[in-house]
Amino acid sequence: MSQLQTTTFSSSLTAAPPVWPVLGVLGGMGPLAGATFAARLVQLTPVTADQAHIPVLLRNDPRIPDRSAAQLAGGPSPLPAMRQGMQDLQRWGAQCIAIPCNTAHLWFEQLRDSVQLPVLHIVESVIQDLRRNGICDGPVGIMGTPATMQLGLYQDALRAAGYEPFTGDDNSIRDWSVQAIAAVKSNQNEQAFAPAAAAVNRLAQMGARAVILGCTELPLAIPPSRRDAFPVVISDSIDALARAVLESFSHKTFSHHEHASDQAERTAAAAAKPE
């Protein structure tokens, strides 16, 4: 069952409008997921006035080439378009960037190195979310795009954090995930529920203590209002990333020049990497 909790803020943050950094959001992958991330960030922020919310620059350009097709089928690389989006956000005044697309994080190092800003990692955000919900070890099921599941975006990080990640013993979890994702991308969210729920229940039957919705379309297939019926904790990568923004922003102020010394080294290294 889902055990989502509200992020705890100090009384000073809710007593008066805080001076937040500007968050840049590299959206469009897909566009509904990007828009939902921005909405969930607002909904999860425990304030009582418009002026107390985090200022957000959402670049929700859906023309970025398909990430799974690029990784698994030789499709056009999304990296140039994603880099352009990151640099646009920096130029427009963002002081930190979030990317509400799991598969895009297969290019995380190149994207991080394209800007002189902190960039939050969605996998790290999900691990924080698991711990927040009392899941600190044990078997965890993963749902996502074929590229996310096959190329191990989550698996190594979960193992390093003490979990036992798995994606099922056949292709059923992948196939149900793909069906649900495709339905959401077609604006058929209600039709997305059945295959997504089938995948969650199968992973629960296989012993998962929690299931990661590791594609940002999947939280739209199983919205928060429908999660209590499941026998496992559901970690929603949209909400996890939004909560990571809130927690990061509540503890520090980001600067355009933060990590500048590291950036020079990364830029030199990135120049040698092929796209």
Model pLDDT for residues 88-119, shown as the tens digit of each residue: 999 999 999 999 999 999 999 999 999 999 99
**Conformation bin of residue 74: beta by default, left when phi > 0, alpha when psi is -120 to 50:** left
pLDDT of 19 reads 84
pLDDT of 252 above 80? no
Domain 123-240 matching CATH 3.90.1640.10: the answer reads no
Mean pLDDT of the region 232-249 = 97
Average pLDDT of the residues of the chain: 89
**162 DSSP assignment:** T
Residue 138: helix, strand or coil by DSSP?
Answer: strand
Q: Are strands 23-26 and 56-59 parallel, antiparallel or unpaired?
A: parallel
The share of the chain scoring above pLDDT 70, in percent, equals 85
Each residue's pLDDT tens digit, 35-55: 999 999 999 999 999 999 999
pLDDT of 121 reads 98
Mean pLDDT of the region 249-273 = 49
Domain 11-121+241-271 shares a fold with domain 123-240 = yes
pLDDT of 258 reads 41
Higher-confidence residue of 265 and 153: namely 153
The share of the chain scoring above pLDDT 90, in percent, equals 83
pLDDT of 256 above 80? no
pLDDT of 16 reads 60
In this structure, what are the phi and psi dihedrals at residue 270, rounded to the nearest 5 degrees? -65, -30
Interatomic CA distance for residues 132 and 42, integer angstroms: 20
pLDDT of 10 above 60? no
Each residue's pLDDT tens digit, 16-33: 667 889 999 999 999 999
Each residue's pLDDT tens digit, 167-193: 998 899 999 999 999 999 999 999 999
Each residue's pLDDT tens digit, 212-238: 999 999 999 999 999 999 999 999 999
Mean pLDDT of the region 199-220 = 98
pTM: 0.86
pLDDT of 18 reads 74
Mean pLDDT of the region 185-212 = 98
E strand or H helix that includes residue 233: strand 233-236
pLDDT of 169 reads 82
DSSP bridge pairs for 97: 24, 119
pLDDT of 15 reads 53
11-121+241-271 CATH choice from 3.30.300.20, 3.30.930.10, 3.40.50.2300, 3.40.50.1860: 3.40.50.1860
Q: Where are the domains of the chain?
A: 11-121+241-271, 123-240
Q: Minimal CA–CA distance to 26: which of 104, 91, 93, 135?
A: 104
Interatomic CA distance for residues 18 and 11, integer angstroms: 11
In this structure, what are the phi and psi dihedrals at residue 79, rounded to the nearest 5 degrees? -60, -45
